[in-house]
């Protein structure tokens, strides 16, 4: 199957497919092969300002649609994404390197946010509050926030767009999406499906650029943008937050993690290894909720490391479009260099390579297990974003919790134990937004995704997700006789 029907080489602004005002373009490269996939417009701040204006002009009419009308548009978009999921999956694998099976999973995962928020559109209930005197009535309504700008990452080229855009559209807010320069084609492909679904002119816009900082600044400082939603690194999240202060813009941030995965002495080790593979090696270790630090109890440390190493040795590395591949390339040379640096640093400080450990041809890195990891190593504090499992040792539950929480981040945590009391104790003690107990894959549209501490602000998905795209208005109705 080919992806030609869905490959768009223009940006989608105000209901039209357009080039950059300057005529400039940039290339999109397949990280597995180094081949050129296509070139797309390299837009500047003026182009983006025009898209924001178009979205803002479309807002009054769009917010007047009934919730049911907006839900129907989202349902059509949902159906179109699913109808095209195989093509979308191939495109994602070509752009970001994730293996085809995972890309197919992402198409379904991404679509599930659209379905979920189509349903939630009809449930944005307000409140009636008992008034303080008989001549008054107090009512609370929820209204769409206005133009939403979405800055999305390359590791989930589809799902991170729908997770932001679907609740915005459901709430009555037009959107301007800026997919990353590594993976703009999936973003443009789903924009073309949104066009087919019939969203009114100007409601759905997608701009492409390599000028991340300039366009980011425009999103932050433009008063017509009422809400910015970003998924990416903590460092960039801090810059955006700073820039948003000039307009006091509402902000949702899904930032970096440093997820611990604790294996207690009472855990089912085989299950823990299965969970470890899922959670560490998804998208070649390039997700914010991927495990960064395995903590294994001293009593089961050797068994866990041995079984994990055996499972990791069985992972096949290659082009994600080929059969029976579990690990694709890293997204860039910079990503590969970082993985190499973390491994070298760990080994220099006493870690033992039990599996893998070396770069391969191109942007590939051997799936790796490092034993005897310690807190002095870079990997203890920084997200590696690659297929490397570093295993730390602990002796008590208190010590495990202390190590797990000893980070500025607090996105996801995982642990394996068969002791029910311990499960409650540890889940409550972990400083993070999401916990997987005896489970390595926790992402779903129905549950709130987000972090504490420097992992971000806000939650995406779930019944909580809509609130971040709506404003609450209190209405006091007086003079009632």
Rounded Cα–Cα distance for residues 224 and 301 (Å)? 55
Q: How far is the CB of 114 from ligand SIN (least distance, A)?
A: 15
Q: How far is it, in rounded angstroms, from Cα 31 to Cα 332?
A: 7
Read off the tokens for 236.
């960039």
Site for ligand SIN in 399-428 (CB under 6 A): none
Supply the minimum distance, in Å, between the C-beta of residue 467 and ligand SIN: 19
Contact with ligand SIN (CB under 6 A) among 155, 258, 319, 413? 155
Closest CA to 437 of 424, 455, 453: 424
Verify whether residue 288 is a known catalytic residue.
yes
Interface with ligand SIN includes 292 (CB under 6 A)?
no
| Options 74-82, 286-294, 298-306, 462-470: segment touching ligand SIN (CB under 6 A) | 286-294
Please tell me whether residue 372 binds ligand SIN under the rule CB under 6 A.
no
* Spatial CA neighbour of 276 closest among 355, 378, 344: 355
Contacts of 338 (CB under 8 A, 6+ apart): 384, 385, 386
Q: Segment near ligand SIN (CB under 6 A), from 173-181, 212-220, 281-289, 391-399?
A: 281-289
Catalytic residue among 288, 290, 409, 432: 288
Q: Which two tokens stand for residue 339?
A: 């993985």
Subset of residues 206 to 265 that bind ligand SIN, contact rule: CB under 6 A: 231, 254
Query: Measuring CA to CA, how many Å separate 18 from each of 13, 15, 133, 261?
Result: 7, 9, 57, 46
Number of residues that bind ligand SIN (CB under 6 A): 9
Q: Which residue minimizes CB distance to ligand SIN?
A: 443
DSSP secondary structure string, 307-351? HHHHHHHT--BS-TTSTT--B---S-HHHHHHHHHHHHHHHHTT-
**β-bridge partners, 413:** 435
Least distance from ligand SIN to the Cβ atom of residue 448, Å: 12
Stretch that binds ligand SIN, among 28-36, 197-205, 282-290, 292-300 (CB under 6 A): 282-290
**Cβ-contact 131, 84 below 8 angstroms:** no
Q: Record the tokens describing residue 8, joined without a space.
A: 């768009």
Could you tell me the smallest distance in angstroms from the CB atom of residue 88 to ligand SIN? 16
With beta carbons less than 8 A apart as the criterion, state whether 190 and 214 touch: no
Candidates 48, 96, 185, 289; binder of ligand SIN (CB under 6 A) is 289
Q: Which of 9, 332, 374, 443 binds ligand SIN (CB under 6 A)?
A: 443
User: Would you give the DSSP letter of residue 199?
Assistant: P
Output the smallest distance, CB 345 to ligand SIN, in A: 23
Tokens read off for 77? 């978009």
Least distance from ligand SIN to the Cβ atom of residue 438, Å: 18
Compare residues 67 and 437 and give the one whose CB is closer to ligand SIN: 437
**CA atoms of 152 and 362, how far apart (whole Å):** 25
| Cross-strand bridge partners of residue 296 | 263, 393
Query: Would you give the binding string for ligand SIN spanning residues 156-195, x where CB under 6 A is met?
Result: x---------------------------------------
Query: Of these residues, 87, 254, 397, 454, which one is catalytic?
Result: 254
Copy the structure tokens of residue 71: 């839900």
Is 244 tagged catalytic?
no
Please give the residue ranges that form the binding site for ligand SIN (CB under 6 A).
Answer: 155-156, 231, 254, 287-289, 443, 449
């Amino acid at each position: 199957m080919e992806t030609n029907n869905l490959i768009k080489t223009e940006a989608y602004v105000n209901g039209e497919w357009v080039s950059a005002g300057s005529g400039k373009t940039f290339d999109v490269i397949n990280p597995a092969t180094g081949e050129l996939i296509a070139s797309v417009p390299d837009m500047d701040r003026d182009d983006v300002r025009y898209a924001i204006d178009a979205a803002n002009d479309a807002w009054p009419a769009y917010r007047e649609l009934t919730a049911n009308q907006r839900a129907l548009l989202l349902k059509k978009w949902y159906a179109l994404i699913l109808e095209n999921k195989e093509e979308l999956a191939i495109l994602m694998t070509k752009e970001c390197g994730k293996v085809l099976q995972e890309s197919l999973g992402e198409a379904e995962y991404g679509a599930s946010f659209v379905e979920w928020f189509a349903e939630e559109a009809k449930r944005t209930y307000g409140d009636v509050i008992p008034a303080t005197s008989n001549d008054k009535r107090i009512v609370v309504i929820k209204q769409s926030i206005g133009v939403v700008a979405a800055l999305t990452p390359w590791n989930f080229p589809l799902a991170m767009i729908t997770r932001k855009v679907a609740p915005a559209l459901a709430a009555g807010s037009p959107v301007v999406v800026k997919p990353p320069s590594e993976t703009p084609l999936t973003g443009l492909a789903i924009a073309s499906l949104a066009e087919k679904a019939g969203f009114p002119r100007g409601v759905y816009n997608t701009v492409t650029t390599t000028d991340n900082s300039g366009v980011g600044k425009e999103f932050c400082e433009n008063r017509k943008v009422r809400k910015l939603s970003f998924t990416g690194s903590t460092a960039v999240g801090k810059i955006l937050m700073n820039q948003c202060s000039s307009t006091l813009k509402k902000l949702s941030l899904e930032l970096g993690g440093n997820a611990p995965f604790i294996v207690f002495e009472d855990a089912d080790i085989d299950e823990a290894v299965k969970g470890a593979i899922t959670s560490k090696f998804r998208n070649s270790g390039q997700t914010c909720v991927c495990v960064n630090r395995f903590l294994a109890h001293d009593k089961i440390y050797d068994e866990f490391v041995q079984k994990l190493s055996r499972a990791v040795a069985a992972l096949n590395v290659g082009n994600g479009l080929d059969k029976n591949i579990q690990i694709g390339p890293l997204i860039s040379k910079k990503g590969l260099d970082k993985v190499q640096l973390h491994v070298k640093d760990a080994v220099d400080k006493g870690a033992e390579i039990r599996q893998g450990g070396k770069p391969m041809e191109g942007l590939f890195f051997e799936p790796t297990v490092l034993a005897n990891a310690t807190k002095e190593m870079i990997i203890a504090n920084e997200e590696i974003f690659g297929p490397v499992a570093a295993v730390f040792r602990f002796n008590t539950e208190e010590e495990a919790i202390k190590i797990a929480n000893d980070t500025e981040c607090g996105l996801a945590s995982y642990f394996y134990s068969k002791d029910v009391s311990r499960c409650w104790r540890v889940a409550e003690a972990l400083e993070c937004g999401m916990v997987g107990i005896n489970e390595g894959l926790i992402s779903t549209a129905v549950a709130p995704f987000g972090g504490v501490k420097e992992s971000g602000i806000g939650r995406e998905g779930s019944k909580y997700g809509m609130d971040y795209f709506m404003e609450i208005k209190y209405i006091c109705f007086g003079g009632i006789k």
